[in-house]
Structure 1
Amino acid sequence: MTSPAATLRPGDQLAGAQSTTKVVVVRAPADRCPEITCGATPMIPAATAPPAPATNAEPDTLLGKRYVDADGTLELLCTYAGTGELACDGVPMTLKAAKPLPASD
């Protein structure tokens, strides 16, 4: 199964089908449409997502953080924290590290 849209584009909003996690696509690969999952369940367009049940569990996906795939062609921004690990084509996505600021003298 592939992602809900024919192709992912920057600005697309996705939601976890069984989680409160919501993300926005910041960068998407031009040559393929990867399967994006949250907690091993494919993500769906945020506009069609049913309300997820609230949980007291510690979130796996953190608000305001960017997540990238292994080759750096897909980048997601978390807009609503939730449980479930983000993955691209079955490979867990990693938290994008901040760029170091240049030293000032």
Structure 2
Amino acid sequence: MAPPVPTPRPGDQLASATDTTRVIVIRAPQQAAGPIECGGSPMLPAAQAPAPAAAEGPPATLIGKRYVDAADTLELLCTASGSGHLTYGGEPLTVKAPKALPASD
């Protein structure tokens, strides 16, 4: 039997096991729907992550961008870009659209 998926908490720092991607959890659901993955491998706590491998190809995750799931229950802030794509529970995460600022007339 597989171990239960740990529930991410706001403030958790995660690192990819396959490339240089690093994220911080901004918002997380009460119950984990699946693992947070990058490049097909579960992300690890940043303190336990091995030294990152050199990035191959153009970055898929961009530093400073926020990534959310389709239900908008999980939000990650990318702190180091990498070539892996972020997924949560097997579903891809997308870049969060910026909020429109009010007009300053």
Normalized against structure 2, the TM-score is what?
0.90
2:13 is matched with: 13
2:36 is matched with: 36
1:93 is matched with: 93
What is the identity percentage for the equivalent residue pairs of Structure 1 and Structure 2?
Answer: 56
1:64 is matched with: 64
Matched, 1:80 2:74: no
- In 2, Cα distance between equivalents of 1:40 and 1:79: 19
Structure 1 SS opposite 2:47: helix
Superposed CA offset, 1:12-55 (max 9, x none) = 01111111100000000013353110011111111000012213
Structure 2 SS opposite 1:47: helix
* Aligned residues of 2:14 and 2:44 also touching (Cα < 8 A): yes
- In 2, Cα distance between equivalents of 1:98 and 1:63: 15
What stretches of structure 1 move > 4 A for 4+ residues in a row? none
- In 1, Cα distance between equivalents of 2:103 and 2:79: 31
Report the count of equivalent residues.
103
**For structure 2, which runs of at least 5 residues remain unmatched after alignment?**
none
- In structure 1, give the amino acid aligned to 2:57: A
* Aligned residues of 2:37 and 2:88 also touching (Cα < 8 A): yes
**For structure 1, which runs of at least 5 residues remain unmatched after alignment?**
none
